[in-house]
Structures are given as structure tokens and as C-alpha cells.
Amino acid sequence: MTNGIWRRIDDDLDGMRRAGQYKRLKNLMRPMGPESEIEGAGNVVVLCSNDYLGLANHPEVVTAAIDAQKRWGAGTGSVRFICGTFDYHREVEEKIADLSASEAATTYVSCWNANEAVIPTLMTIAGDSVIAVSDALNHASIIDAVRLGRQMNKSAQSRIYKHSDMDDLENRLKEAAAIKTKLVITDGVFSMEGDIAKLDRIHALCAEHDALLIVDDSHGVGVCGPTGRGVAEHYGLHGKIDCLTGTLGKALGGAAGGYVASRKNLIDLMVQKSRPQIFSNALPPATAGAARAAIDILTRDSSRIEKLRSNVGYMRSGLKARGFETMEGPSAITPIILGETAKAIAASRRLLELGVFVIGFGYPVVPEGTARLRVQISAAHEKEHLDRALDAFQKL
């Protein structure tokens, strides 16, 4: 006899099916690119990847991944501090620090891990007077990291401010005036909205209230700012953010991996104390190799960023001309709000039949009643891909 958990698993899955929230994974039959092939659906234009610069299957990135694997083997077979640090870790971390205009950087197997490294570690070492103040629409990894920080340090507090509401953030900071350590945490680009954080105001408020600013720029790096350094560069704040986290699984090669970039002492603290690095294996060679090559391409050639911007503009005006509401802004994400979850899922199913791969997001990923299609554009799209997609939206 068990305690009934197997039955509860079935009930839970059935509940998701009934609510139209059950996710069916789609099998890609070709590498990620501006178009791909889905098992059972055929050729599709891809509008749902975070491969913003089109580097996931770039020959230089693939070759670098293979070369790294050949040179270093499959991995370290250990965590970093025991015997799991290779030369390539140092190299890729130096490149990430450069890209972020930070003193130093350290890597993790995902940005999820990077957030769960830096936020709880800081909330723990800060002692009995610490608060984390977080945007209401921050990524799930930030939300969970703050929860974890409160578990690890029972006297740590947390507050949520209304999404991008600077008056609310200021009020939260004023309320926290007596608390010694204040952390303000925000996404750079909000992944479901496609809008960018008001980093100029947030940065100024942090300075005024003596708060440390952590920005997760997973969707901003490679996309925002004149040279693709991210949302901080967009605001002229490159090199001025206390702590950046980001992913290597989106614009920077599309494989996997994450990082924290900051002052040397904070990075040293991560190496000494952050649990996702102390108790979990290091970034494997192939992913590090891919990311290193992607960073090299980004730093030597801004043409991809320019093409991405022109593609985003083309798609947004095409959608607008077809009666869809879109918003302006420097990110590569355009949500189309449809309301009910079932409606968003039905729309994405219909678009797939029409040869366009775009995902409908509903509750609980986004708040109830704000289900949406999330259109994501890449520098790898050609006009022909975007026109095919726009034709499908027209039919929809």
C-alpha cells in the first residue's frame, strides 16, 4: 500500500487535461532555426524559440561545442570545488565578465541555478536584517529563489512590488528603511510581457535607499542595447549594475547554462558558498564551448542585432496591420493577449496547422484571464519566414 500518491498524481494530471492546461511536448525533427520540422506537423516557421541571434545551429557554435567536447571529454565528473574546474570555465567566465562589464563571473548549469545561487546566499549571509524586494512579474526562478532564501534564513523578509510600478517600489523601500540589507531584484526583459524593466528609475531608487540591485537579463543580453549587452546598456548603465544574472540558453548559443556577474568578492562568495555550485556538477565542455563561440560572434559582429531589430519591427507592424494589438519596445518578445487559456491554446494549435510554431501561455504561467500567444523573433528569420507567419495570423 502507498499513501495514495499514485492516485493523486493521476487526479492532478486529469485535472490539467480537463482545464485545458495539459502540455503536450512537441518533437523537433531538425535542429532549432528560423524554421524546423515537428513530428506529426511537418515544416513550421518557429516563433517560440529564445534563439534570438540564430546561433543555436550556427556552424561556428556547433564546431566550438564539438571541439570543446573532444578536448575536455564529456565533463568534470565532479563539482567545481572538488576537482571539477577546467581551463574553459575560467575562459568562458572571463568572457561573460567582459560582456557584462563586471569584475568577475561564475557559471552554473542554468540561470535557474544562478538565481537560486545568488539570491538565497545573499539573503543568508546578510544575517537577521535583510529584505528581498521583487517585481510581481519576475521569473519563477527568482520567486523560488526568494522563497528559498526565506527558508534558509528565517529572519529574512520579502516584499513584492507591483509590476514596474516605481511608486510602489519606492514605498516598499521606504517601509524597509530600518532593514540593514535591501536587495532589489528584477528581470531585465519580462519574459511573458516582453516589456523591459525601468532600470534607470530602479537603479536610482536603489542608490537612494542603499539597496543592492540584481538584474536577471536572460532575455535582454544579445537583444537590447546598442551592442547587445542587454538592458543595462539600453539605459546607459552598462557596468553600473551591482549584480547580473543571465542564461547561456537563449541568445548566447541556445544550449544551456547560466551565470552570475558582479564584483570579485561577490563571485568569490558564490564559489565558496552557493549551493548549486558546491553540490552540483559544473557546466559541461560542449555547452561552455558553444556559449564562448556565441559570445565571440556577438562581440565582433553587431549585424545580427540590427537584423533582429528590423525583423521585430517588421513583424510587429505586420501583426498590427492585421488587427492584432502589439506593443513597442526594444525586446524580441511580442505577446498577443487573448484572455482565456483555452482560447490561447486553440489559437496556437490552429497556427501550428497553418505552419507556424507559436506557443499559447495560460494560467498558471500567466495570471488568469491574460492568456496569450508569445511571438518571439530571431535574427535568423528571413522576410519570407515572417511573411509566411503573417499570412497564418491573417487566416487565424
Catalytic residue annotation: 191, 219, 250
Looking at beta carbons only, is 80 or 219 nearer to ligand PLP?
A: 219
Question: What kind and span of H or E run contains 150?
Answer: helix 140-152
Count the neighbouring beta carbons within 10 Å of the beta carbon of residue 295.
Answer: 22
Q: CB–CB of 294/53 below 8 Å?
A: yes
Would you give the binding string for ligand PLP spanning residues 270-309, x where CB under 6 A is met?
A: ----------------------------------------
Q: Which window, 216-224, 236-244, 277-285, 309-317, contacts ligand PLP (CB under 6 A)?
A: 216-224
∠ CA 336-234-131, nearest 5°, is: 85
| Interacting span for ligand PLP (CB under 6 A) from 211-219, 325-333, 355-363, 367-375 | 211-219
| Contact flag: residue 216 with ligand PLP (CB under 6 A) | yes
109 backbone φψ class: left, alpha, beta (φ>0; ψ -120 to 50): alpha
Q: Which stretch binds ligand PLP (CB under 6 A): 69-77, 156-164, 212-220, 286-294?
A: 212-220
For residues 97-156, which are near ligand PLP according to CB under 6 A? 110-112, 139, 141
What is 250-275 written as a DSSP string? SSS-SS--EEEEE-HHHHHHHHHH-H
Interatomic CA distance for residues 371 and 337, integer angstroms: 6
Cβ 258 to ligand PLP shortest distance, Å: 4
Number of other residues whose CB lies within 10 A of the CB of residue 155: 11
Residues 247-266 that bind ligand PLP (CB under 6 A): 247, 249, 258
Closest CB to ligand PLP among residues 376, 386: 376
Whichever of 26 and 350 has its CB closer to ligand PLP, that residue is 26
Please identify, using beta-carbon distances, which residue of 35 and 187 lies nearer to ligand PLP.
187
Phi, psi of 295 (to 5 degrees): -65, -40
Closest approach of ligand PLP to the CB of residue 155, in Å: 27
Cβ-based nearer residue to ligand PLP, 176 or 267: 267
Scanning residues 305 to 364, which ones bind ligand PLP (CB under 6 A)? Answer: none
Give 89 or 219: the residue with its C-beta nearer to ligand PLP: 219
Element (H, E) at 56: none
C-beta of 283: minimal distance to ligand PLP in Å?
11
What does the angle CA 108 – CA 118 – CA 162 come to, to the nearest 5 degrees? 120
Shortest spacing between CB 306 and ligand PLP, in angstroms: 24
d(CA 201, CA 226) in angstroms, rounded, equals: 20
Q: Other C-beta atoms within 10 Å of 103: how many? A: 14
Order of strands across the sheet with 35-38? 35-38, 42-46, 356-357
For the segment 150-189, give every residue that binds ligand PLP (CB under 6 A): 187
Q: Count Cα atoms within 13 angstroms, Cβ side, for 59.
A: 0
Please, what's the largest Cα pairwise distance for the chain?
62
- Closest approach of Cβ 396 to ligand PLP, in Å? 25
- Provide, rounded to whole angstroms, the least separation between the CB of residue 217 and ligand PLP: 8
- The residue ranges that bind ligand PLP (CB under 6 A) are 110-112, 139, 141, 187, 191, 216, 218-219, 247, 249, 258
